[in-house]
Amino acid sequence: MLAIAALLQPVGARSQAIFDWPIRATPQPEAVLTGAGAAFWNPGGLAAGVGTLQEVWVTHMVGPSATGIQGVAAAGVMDLPLGFRGALGYWHLGIRDIPRTTTSPNREPGGIHVAEDIALLALAHDLRAGSGLGVGLRLQQGSVGRDTRTFVEGEIGVHHRSRWPLTPRVGLTLQGVGRDLRTLAGIEISLPALAASRLPLRAGYGIQAGRGSEPLEHRVSLRASWMEQVHAGIGLSYLGEGGGWTPMVGLGADLGRYSLSVLREALANGFGAAHFYRAAIRFP
């Protein structure tokens, strides 16, 4: 059904690429992510002052069989001169060999390949008192068969990790600068009863304002960590009346310089579940 919907639209419809469905990383709101994966969502989260270490990050995504979507994402962040942080990222989502129908753009033998590719470059710098400011440049291409559309857009983001009570972490991003502006915002706090224990809990809320008349996406999450080495979390995204609720469950472990995790997202409308397998290696 996703493939048919993509084929019925021109590639340049609403000046967007094929998939609005993103590469996930954790159940928490994307605006408060740290690590190399923050390059995809909030470049301000790349700054060292908000807790991001230098690392390389890879995710393999396997969609439910009903959709046929598969993908891969990779990102890396490293120190640059003058106190800057630089990051490179790339992701690919695609559906291969979709059978042609009477409404297909052409009727040549074989199937149609639908894909989205995003490459980005980001820079971040520490501000005062646990804050980071970042900017990014994104090259995005969507394709349906032989028809493609490529465009470039900018983004800017801030991330703040506070020492106030409940140790809030706040993120705000403006994506699509120069095109269709989109806003991501999020906050995550430590629950006071367990904040100082060996099993701290963090609760988060995020909101994403899409393009034009698209509905708001709301995200709530709860994460726990044992000795800062083993992590578990749950999240719920509300995609509006048409999309309903999307539940997510994530597990992860930090083993010295290495980090491994898996995230399961049960899609709305009975499509099934997508799985995201992530690995990262950190370096001094």
Which pLDDT tens digit goes with each residue over 245-280?
A: 889 999 999 999 999 999 999 876 677 899 999 999
Residue 277 corresponds to which amino acid? Y
Domains of the chain plus CATH, in order, are 2-282 (2.40.160.40)
pLDDT value of position 79 = 97
Place of tokens 């909101």: 207
pLDDT value of position 102 = 56
Q: Over 90: is that where the pLDDT of 113 sits?
A: no
Q: 24-50: per-residue pLDDT in tens? A: 888 999 999 999 999 999 999 999 999
For 270, phi then psi, to 5°, come to 70, 20
Tell me the CA distances in angstroms from 106 to 8, 9, 103, one per residue in order. 12, 14, 8
pLDDT value of position 10 = 38
Q: Over 50: is that where the pLDDT of 240 sits?
A: yes
What gap in Å lies between CA 153 and CA 115, rounded to an integer?
19
Q: 2-27: per-residue pLDDT in tens? A: 343 444 343 333 344 456 667 888 89
Give the contacts of 21 (CB within 8 A, at least 6 positions apart). Answer: 69, 93
pLDDT value of position 34 = 94
